[in-house]
Amino acid sequence: MKVFLIGASKSQAEQMIAEDTIHQIDLDGQIIALVRQKDEFFAFQSTCPHRGASLLRGDLDAGIIRCSLHGYSFDLKSGEVQLGLCSALETYSVELTEEGLKISVPNE
Ligand code: FES
């Protein structure tokens, strides 16, 4: 497991990640998506598990992302498919700490 730190403090991380926006984050060459909704952060694969469209252009709802290509939707926390038939979205553990936002991704 690799752990990445976004920002140098809790408040800096909160300032860097605007609410209800899909951010593209490069973690040593692995591109992931990061979303903040109120006080919750969600990190997940940036491509759709259905046919690989970019989820950076997806639509956000409360705790849900909807792919812009065929409209499949996924739970941001669990990655579970809400609408559509495909594998689940890969999600990553996120923790807001005093040192910044920690994102844990499995080793490839
Ligand atoms: S590629 Fe995302 S729903 Fe088909």
Backbone angle region of 56, left / alpha / beta, with phi > 0 → left and psi within -120 to 50 → alpha:
alpha
Closest CA relative to residue 33, chosen from 15, 60, 10: 60
Query: Which among 22, 55, 59, 67 is the best mutation to test ligand 1's pocket, defined by most ligand atoms within 8 Å of the CB?
Result: 67
Q: Which structure tokens are listed for 106?
A: 């499995």
Question: Which mutation among 22, 56, 72, 83 tests ligand 1's pocket best, with the greatest number of atoms within 8 A of CB?
Answer: 72
Residue with tokens 């690799």: 2
Query: Residue 20 and residue 87: Cα distance in Å, rounded?
Result: 24
Kindly list the structural domains of the chain, giving each domain's residue range(s) and its CATH number in brackets, ordered by start.
2-105 (2.102.10.10)
Query: Model pTM?
Result: 0.95
pLDDT digits (tens, 9 = 90+) for 2-37: 999 999 999 999 999 999 999 999 999 999 999 999
Strand pairing partners for 44?
Answer: 33, 91
Asked if residues 71 and 59 have their Cβ atoms less than 8 Å apart, the reply is: no
pLDDT single digits (tens) 61-87: 999 999 999 999 999 999 999 999 999
